[in-house]
Amino acid sequence: MHLERAVHGKPSGVDPAVCAHGGVIFFQKGTVERVTGSAWLCVLHSGIARGTKSAVLGLAERRKTDPVIDRSIRSLGELARQGRSFLELGDLRGLGQTFEAAHSYLRDGLSVSCPELERAVEALRKAGALGAKLTGAGGGGAAIGLARDQAHAREIAEKTGGFAVGIGT
């Protein structure tokens, strides 16, 4: 967390929690719960490096005057709970829909996307992802696309220049 504070300013703690626990976790206000289930993703870098600290600080500043920010954050929390349920049930279509809805909130409600991330998300969709969204703090970095299985993730990766990765148990 000391490194996270230096790099990100005011970190949530989710990154060290994932590193410490491994697998897929549900993280809320410092509480970590293991999530069962597995999935395959294609990760596609936007080509834009962006520091989490500047993105988080900018959002925190906007949050003081824009009520849409808190509503969007609450909606993203609900989508995370739904996504957890879909993953545990093995409902990849439902999980893909939560990716799409989350990306809409990240893009429109929080305004943390950028043209490069939008192109990455669209490329993942066109390549057949079940759902796609930006990942991380936004403003650059990467997008993820949900695949049906390992072969599908590799196919998406081949079409987009991304890479396939399995998550979960």
Q: List the structure tokens of 22.
A: 């491994």
Whether the CB-CB separation of 119 and 46 falls below 8 Å is answered with yes
> b/e per residue, 20-39, with b = 16+ CB within 10 A?
eeeebbebeeeeeeebebeb
- Return d(Cα 146, Cα 153) in angstroms, integer: 8
Q: Annotated catalytic, 15? A: yes
Q: What is the largest CA-CA distance in the chain?
A: 46
What residues does 40 pair with on adjacent strands? 147, 166
Nearest to 133 by CA among 122, 143, 124, 147: 143
Out of 15, 66, 70, 149, the active site residue is 15
Query: Catalytic residues, which ones?
Result: 15
